[in-house]
Amino acid sequence: MPPLTTQAIKSSHAVVTTLHTTPRNILVAFDDGIVNIFDLEGKNERVLMASERGGVWAMDTWFEEGREEEEWLAVGGTDCLVGVWSLRRLEKMSTLSGHQNTVRCIATLSATQVLSGSRDSTLRIWNINTSTCEAILDGHTKTIRHFAVKDNIAVSASYDSDARVWDLRTRKCVHVLRDHDEKVYVVKFDGRRIVTGSMDRTVRVWDPVSGTCRAVLRGHNSLVGLLELTNTSLITAGADGDIFSWSLDDYAEEWRVDAHGNAVTALHSNGQMIASGGSDGKVKVWNAQTGAVISELLDSDAVWQVAILGQKILVFFMKKNNVIMEFWAVPASS
């Protein structure tokens, strides 16, 4: 089965750093500071030079209430800045300065507030209207690699081996999640549970209210850097090439597959299917209930990002020094 569309969007050694989709746009960022913007069909490309001093590593978007035609973008990267842009006009509206190292993660809290996490070990809450920092959330001692936000709670994951739970209303740390032995790379939070993946090869599930560890999930043989939460399962993927599914009822292993032989580099699930990409250059689609492979979509030099968008699968990959964007039809699940 051939792809629905194929488009070379860069002829260089640029690396895709992050992918963000909205009801209106597809945004893909690179380590050269550029963000490419497409509509949901992969057309009407626009190019935003978001940073002239290094790569973009984090993005988030929002719509202003009452002005749905206006979509806003916050970006952060190696220039240590958070930039706020109008996506409609591709005009920079604000520069938020204060971090001392790469901005690694960004989340919109409201139409006027943005949260950022940095390799300088801090999180910052910014007022977009005044371009000022309202609060510095201090406590980590090393790089903040990732965070997750739900309602008024943020959970940060750090190379100091800890995750921290923050109340965004009081701007205070309410729990330090301290049981990992090595760097924490990724965190998910759905309001009911916090899940962390670490270089210590374990996945831990935490109670967000008490801060206690509910479960330790073992089986990976290397760094666990990718997590997906569905309504019934937790999907984990690691640098060992394996993908696991765990029940959210009792955190028992449901299935495991040797997905890519080496590192899994991209992962997304819609609850029925899982799309994965690996350092083996392959993209595969799996049955989320059984772990059976449904389809192998492509073979490339490197897979950067995958996303299931309705009845299509979006893939960004490298082949022959070209960054390629492809859409594939979602395969039948049987």
Using alpha carbons, select from 191, 241, 243 the residue that is nearest to residue 217.
243
Residue 295 resides in a domain: no
Contact (Cβ atoms closer than 8 angstroms) between residue 224 and residue 204: no
Q: Give the H/E segment covering residue 21.
A: strand 16-21
Angle, CA 120 vertex, CA 133 and CA 263 arms, to 5°: 125
Residue partners of 32: CB distance under 8 A and separation at least 6: 12, 14, 55
Residue 320 resides in a domain: no
CATH number at 76 reads 2.130.10.10
Q: How many CB atoms lie within 10 A of CB 129?
A: 12
Residue 6 resides in a domain: no
According to the model, what pLDDT value does residue 65 have?
72
pTM of the complete model: 0.96
According to the model, what pLDDT value does residue 64 have?
77
Residue 300 resides in a domain: no
Residue 289 resides in a domain: no
d(CA 113, CA 131): 10
Residue 43 resides in a domain: yes
Domain count, the chain: 1
Domain that holds residue 144: 14-275
Quick one: DSSP state of residue 280? T
Residue partners of 85: CB distance under 8 A and separation at least 6: 48, 50, 72, 73, 74, 75, 91, 92, 93
β-pairing, 253-258 with 242-247?
antiparallel
Residue 302 resides in a domain: no
Contact (Cβ atoms closer than 8 angstroms) between residue 273 and residue 333: yes
- Which residue type is seen at 92? K
According to the model, what pLDDT value does residue 13 have?
78
pLDDT along the chain (334 residues), means of 10: 92 89 96 96 96 95 80 97 96 97 97 97 98 98 99 98 99 98 98 98 98 98 98 98 98 98 96 97 97 95 97 96 95 74
Residue 36 resides in a domain: yes
Q: What is the DSSP string of 171-218?
A: TEEEEEE---SS-EEEEEE-SS-EEEEETTS-EEEE-TTT--EEEEE-
